Structure 1
Amino acid sequence: MVSPLAHDDPQAIGPYTLVARLGSGGMGTVYLGRSAKGRTVALKTVHEHFAAQTEFRTRFRLEADAARIIGGQYGAEVIDADSLAPTPWLATEYVLGPPLDEAVVFCGVLPESAARVLGAALCDALAQLHRSGVVHRDLKPSNILLTALGPKVIDFGIARAAGDDRLTRTGSTAGTPAYMSPEQAIGGEHTAAGDVFALSAVLAFTVSGSPPFGSGQPADLLYRVRYADPDLSGVPDGLRPVLARGLAKDPEQRPDTTEFRTLLHDGGGDFAEHLPDAVLADIARRSAAVWEIQPSRLPVPAEEFTTPTSASQRPRVSRRALFALGGGVLAAGGAAGAWGLLAPDDDTAGPARKEPSRRTPGGAPRLVWKATVESEGIGDTVALPVGDDLALVAEGRLLCVDARTGERRAESELVDYPQTVLSDGERLFALDDRNHLVPVDFGTGSFQTPLARLDGLDGLDALETRLVIAIGRSLVLEGKTGKGWVRFAVDSRTGKEVWRRRMPTPADTFDELTATPVGSSYLRTQGESVSRIDARTGATRWSVRVPKKNTGGLSGGRRHAVSSDHLFLGAEELLALRLSDGKITWRFGKGRKFGKDYDASADHYGPPVFKDDVVYTTERNNGLIALDSRSGRLLWEEDKDAAVSLSFAANSTVSGRYFYVSPDNDAQWIAAIDLRTHRVAWTFQSPLGDRGGTTPTIMTLPQAKRLIVVRGTGVCALPLDA
């Protein structure tokens, strides 16, 4: 996804003028650049704080070497590189084709014939690497680009010589969990057989639209990779046994690339002949569009804040590293680091500055502060309000900030996953390495004296323990013991157990869990299970099954939309469930028209939002709609003439005169739709480039008068209109 340059991006790198951003992540940034003679290249750089580390400079040099080994036929041709520059950089050809993951999402799954030819070509690419003694270690759909002449493998950031563990920290795991081999998941040696495992997982995704071990939190994925059978139900019958061999747990049972190629290839013809028309059209569009891209740069924010990055802290051992995954700690290619919070760039005495306008020329509010929370994994940052402050939680990172100003309160590496951190609105709690429930000092980020010791609770499995919700003084937890699953509550003041109850074993323990308070009870959804639990006693008031096609599986981070008497869910249809018994009162969506270019299997509705007897939601190809919460009657629809494409994974919100939603692109983070005119009033451009993520979140903090936006690893705050 091409996006404008940030205001502080350099004008040029080496001999190449920067034109746009292609992406940014925890390790570095990739730019679109042009040479003096007009050649278009992709320029990969390493973040400054990593460039200062000898280990990462060595990794960067090895990445360039691996890219040269695979060459221009099977990879992006290396044009130039400088691993000794103050900021190391690598220039490769700009491949005119979509990443495989985008092709599947936007054009649909590939037919079996295309997947077989793709797999055979990737076997040739991997074989070329393996012959030189190099393994890729991070083969996944986003690292495979589709061109009319064949696939190209990119991103060799964690590739290394087979058997060389010198750049892998003891006990660490590098790679992408959904496509890791079992041996890689426990930090063991990743050989050429590991690349075959990853390729098999990639091909399963290509023909089914889902990785064979599902999705979810990294620890859950790694567990499934090691112990669960792959889900190949969506794979065509003829291809299923081939991929099953490649996904064997024992690397000795997997075919090598030569045998795998023979099993896959089922005929000749050019690669392009096997690709669907939609993919070929996308390749053609990208080939033409690259010449239309003109240099652009985001303006300097009117109120910019900057605070130096804190020094590296002592590495810690994660509590989840102690369990059955063999001590593996997931690391996204590397180590520590950081956050990028911004604070006043000029605090010297002098004449008062003229107060800048609170709005940009386009009508959007001006940025107040922004932050980047770089985690050890791949999940989204979670924002938890704590009084007038905000806790930003990612895997292995906690950042405590003043929600109004963005001033840093504390930074910590003690937390593990967002599911192990909980706010009761005023205080922050976490589970530590020993499975103790501990208060967190918001001023220092340190763990205080344990409130409750859970390690002796019927053999409670720390890997399966999670903080669910805080209601009043009760902190509700769930976990797996030697006698089955339990739900229990702990008093947040005394640490004493309030109640404990057996609970049904979740149908899929890896499905995301969402909980929302409703009076003295709470709503709990996980997968297809929807329940109402009494927070005073732990008793289940009611529990119903709602098919995933109507809940969207309630993916991670989604919030419940609740009125005084109904719960609203949305995916294929919109449903209203009575809070008294869970029965459906009304449903909406049957007979609606979504346009001719839509995927019938995709969600038709985004997460609903409730306010003042109105249910708001995004409807595919139609934009924002508003329904009467009591009857499900359509009240109005967004003006399509001014509409923008909206994200269906986003957590939206409504406040004052606006419905705030996330556009379906990386360049814009918010679209504000006026509830009176039903038109987009303004959009807010990303202040941090592409920060990735799967579930954008927008939330309001009325006391701090801030609108908070979370996208992947990036967080920013805007003034909240009344």
Structure 2
Amino acid sequence: MKPLGQGDPLRLGPYRLHGVLGEGGMGKVYFGADASGHPAAVKVLLPELAHDGHLADRFLREARTAQAVTSEGVARVLAAELEGGRPWIATEFLAGPTLHDAVTNFGPLDEAAVRELARSLARTLQDVHATGLVHRDVKPPNVVLTSRGPRLIDFGIARPEHGLTLTRTGQIPVTPGYGAPEQVLGQRVGPAADVFSLGAVLAFAAGGRPAYTGAEVTAVLYEVVHGSPDLEAVPEGLRYLVTPCFAKDPAARPLPTQVADAAEAPRQPERLWKSGGLGNEIRQREAAARRLTARPAGPSTAPEGGAPGGTARLTRRRLLTAAAGGGVLVAAAGGGAAWWLSRGDAPPDPFDIPPAAKVRPAPLGSVEGSPKPLWGPIQDVADAGSPAPLPVRDVVVFAASGGGVAARRVTDGRERWRIGDAKADAGYLSIGDRLVATADGDGTLRTWVAATGSPRWTVDAEVGALLAADAHDVYLLTTDGRLRCVGTDGKVRWTRRPPLTLSGGHPAAALGAGHLVLCSEAGDVAAVRAEDGSRAWVRKGQAAGPLRPAIDGTTVYLGGTSLAAVEASGGRELWALNPLRPPSRGTAGWGPPAVAGGVVYALDCDALRSLHADGSQAADPMMVAGVAPPWRPPVVQGNSVWVVESEETGVTGLPRSGQDQHQTYALAGGGSRSVAAGGNRLFVLNRATLLALPVY
């Protein structure tokens, strides 16, 4: 970041300029901010070129055309105007190292990161080409690495397909070593030119050096047209991916979709940009950007760089100080600026997962006698139809009496927060044991910090039912019966019709082994691949109703007419056990299983069964009084397994060892009843009553 110099404008349109991010043969790029403090990269045509009316018109026309590119892999063009005879383009601002800087400072990317880079850039180019544009300058300095993945920048001068390159007289119309042969020769180009450049970028990322080199620029250009790329430094396992991109004949190069499919990118790719030295560099630069756009703490005072009334105003001193402390800030002309950059009243970054809350586990209780509650029973706090309680570190979440969702402290049962507009019957989920996901009556997916109840990101996802979540994705059923995956970056990853009908109820679901497994209201089971929602397998007639599957390793366990173990990937049955009594109108059979320590626990009619992963008996069956469908999954905590019983019995804890000893906490009222456990605490919902019991 450099300070403004003599001749630099102080303002362009709504943007006050604060520093120079870069300068090239066509113009300068400034760091600017509008009246609300929202940042932008503002590219201005050089004064000596602005007098060329034809050049200025093309600069603006093609920039406005580039506004049609809305791919998540680019930073959008925000505005393009002619002011005081000088055309300028404002684009979204990204903080993060370029691919060139990342490889220079940290060395070549590992294979997984290269594959994800290939998938991401190829998908982005597919979106670009779909709008009729060709980027024509895909190179390492034009790829910014962010915590949410690679972003392709510099779209302010993107050209329509088959258009001529916008350059100064005598200027080389391509970046040596990255432009395609047809670009070097000054021919009209199409999307295949970007694919050639993509191959060169991937070769650099994987090998740490350019695929084409030479003592002089002319030698490099000659090699591009007549020679072969040097891929010696590219790992053998990646050469198949990049080599086809270097075909001299544009028609022989793969399509971007073919490159993306061939990349075989890893699951949960966001982790690639959040670890190691590179991940730390990305975090530092993004933190510096947040500091630059942070609002003042007080409503009437204005610390340096802030304006009265809460509007952030970025002074040159503050800008340069923050940049020096947190790394260089990179201008992006194309894709994916975070939502926090446009919401002055939001937390600094609603997509930033907060630190996990700390809570001390409760001491184990005694197996002798009936358990004494740790707290409660607390009367009339829950909705009688609440889903099972959800422990998330230091709080337990449930459907609140009178509507909405509430959370109480796990240590003493005191209310921590309440969300009145949450639609509790859509369910609630834990995201990474730090956030809670809910839905409102309009189907909007909303997330909250579990420990405090403060809001985070929202997505208009048409939520009908929340199904499952991990630290990176939320899986849901839409109001019209489609499956949808929403990332924790607030973006919809995919939407698919399920392999079987799921509308008309809330299917039971489990997530694991790269698959989402669902059991419908009719008792049919379907598995889809978590990465794209494609069908993996279907198993019909498994149960009389929606019984939640359990997943351990690569095996899925299913209750119902049999207790079945099937392969998660293909659904092949590994083994199946019949119940003690044949099922009859849903009154017998196997309940939903649970897995802990490699042992499968499930209710078999009136007995709790414990089985090894191969189906062999792990402990003697233990009889349980008063159980009847619909069954809840057993809950394993400490040295005990807890089951929900019906009528006046209550909840019973049985030893995992299978020895003949147990304890029961009596509950009155019958009806809706469910349990969950965490931190050596058993949380019990008995209609409108909530309490916590010790486990042993």
TM-score class, shorter-chain normalisation, is 0.3 to 0.5
Q: With the length of structure 1 as denominator, give the TM-score of the two structures.
A: 0.41
User: Whose radius of gyration is greater, 1 or 2?
Assistant: 2
